[in-house]
Copies of this chain bind each other. A is one copy, B any other.
Amino acid sequence: MRTAYREQMAGLNSVLGSMCELAGGAMERSTQALLQADLAVAEEVITDHEKITSLSVHAEEQAFALLALQAPVASDLRAVVSTFQIVADADRMGALALHVAKVARRRHPAHALPEEVNGYFAEMGRLAVQLAATAREVLNTQDPNDALRLQDDDDAMDDLHRHLFTVLMDREWRHGVAAAVDVTLLGRYYERFADHAVLIGRRVVFQATGKTPEQLVDVGEY
């Protein structure tokens, strides 16, 4: 029973990892579409979104099957329940990448971004892709140390996001209100994408140790 549980749980975490991989790939292409005003790439992300949605359904079915067949208890039960929450996070990451692609499409053939902020979005895109890759990796390895490190990349994202706002709020901003609105929403999409990757990391810590990151720190284990 216990072996079957472990195997099914590993299979389920691997599906969740694939969701993160798809979300990261979508954000990579959305960022490219945004920076290069590339309609074809934006359309690709929009079409491919369905793959993430169908993996969500598949992952939830697997999690229900695991609950029904293995009837896990105590910390195993909590670990399975956390997979439903991870599905929701990874699904949301995909939706946020989709939002970015849709802004690129809406503004095409114009660029949604003034050139001045391209560097910020290139870097936020890079961090988002990295966060999704780390989330995928820790879902597979269940390594709580690596999971905790997602927080560092998120701190870098938050710094970028804050700097972006100082650029927007600067009296020198010459790109008008419409561009400012786009930049505000786009910045928020990247920031939220990162937040969900961090949440996945927190849930992996919980799956692997039965403790929240804060509890781990309290007992001095990390």
Footprint of B on A, CB under 8 Å? Answer: 63-64, 67-68, 71, 73-74, 77-78, 81, 84-85, 88, 165, 168-169, 173, 177-178, 180-181, 184-185, 188
A178 → chain B, closest Cβ, in Å?
A: 5
**A169 to B188, Cβ gap below 8 A?**
no
**A177 to B180, Cβ gap below 8 A?**
yes
- Chain B residues positioned under 8 Å from A185 (CB to CB): 184, 188
| Complex CA–CA separation, A68 to B81 (angstroms) | 12
**B78 to A64, Cβ gap below 8 A?**
yes
**A68 to B64, Cβ gap below 8 A?**
no
Q: Looking at the complex, which one of B63, B77, B85, B188 makes contact with A188 (CB distance below 8 Å)?
A: B188
- Chain B residues positioned under 8 Å from A168 (CB to CB): 177-178, 181
- Chain B residues positioned under 8 Å from A165 (CB to CB): 181
| Complex CA–CA separation, A162 to B81 (angstroms) | 37
- Chain B residues positioned under 8 Å from A68 (CB to CB): 73-74, 77
| Complex CA–CA separation, A168 to B182 (angstroms) | 11
Q: Looking at the complex, which one of B77, B169, B184 makes contact with A67 (CB distance below 8 Å)?
A: B77
Q: Looking at the complex, which one of B63, B84, B181 makes contact with A180 (CB distance below 8 Å)?
A: B181
